[in-house]
Structure 1
Amino acid sequence: MRNLKLIWDFKGPEAERTAAHHLIHLDDYLKNEKVTSIATGVEQVSDNHHIAYVALKETFMPSVRDALKPHRGQLWNDL
């Protein structure tokens, strides 16, 4: 079973704050829907581009994708 990283992109001068706020909602959703995540967080891509993400097992991906509409996804490499 693969691990996936679902990503929400935020750009602009408020990108870091917006991504951090979005992460609160992601964590709430995971808790309320009893979805086990591998990791969640915020990462800086550039000065004006931050992401919020959730890493999870592939079996959880369809329901989370359909409910939360991530902008993109990739394989999760936790090394």
Structure 2
Amino acid sequence: MSRKIKLLWDFRGPDAKETAKHHTIHLKEFTTIENLEFIEIDIQEKNPMLFSAFITVNENDMKTFRDALKPHRGEIA
């Protein structure tokens, strides 16, 4: 079984939540256009002024997503 990797994009400020939500739309569009599999796309709140959009993928697909989408950071899910 391969590990799951979470790729994250951080958004700060009073509009962070809405910006993160909007970013998930583009993540979903990318996976559809490129016909790529993913596990989850969502947002998470660190605090009211910091939200992250994320996509969770299988480790063997991570480089494809990382190279194309340039996430701010990644972590083992």
Q: TM-score range by the shorter chain?
A: over 0.9
* TM-score, normalised by the number of residues in structure 2: 0.95
Identity %, equivalent residues:
39
Distance in 2 between the 1:8 and 1:44 partners? 12
Distance in 2 between the 1:47 and 1:3 partners? 27
Unaligned runs of 5+ in 1: none
Counterpart in 1 of 2:41?
40
Task: Give structure 1 regions of 4+ aligned residues with deviation exceeding 3 angstroms.
Answer: none
SS at match of 1:37: coil
Counterpart in 2 of 1:16?
17
SS at match of 2:39: strand
Distance in 1 between the 2:38 and 2:65 partners? 11
RMSD: 0.6
Distance in 2 between the 1:4 and 1:75 partners? 5
Q: Give the partner amino acid of 1:67.
A: A
- The 5 A counterparts of 1:1-79 are 1-76=2-77
* TM-score, normalised by the number of residues in structure 1: 0.93
- What number of residue pairs does the alignment pair up? 76
Unaligned runs of 5+ in 2: none
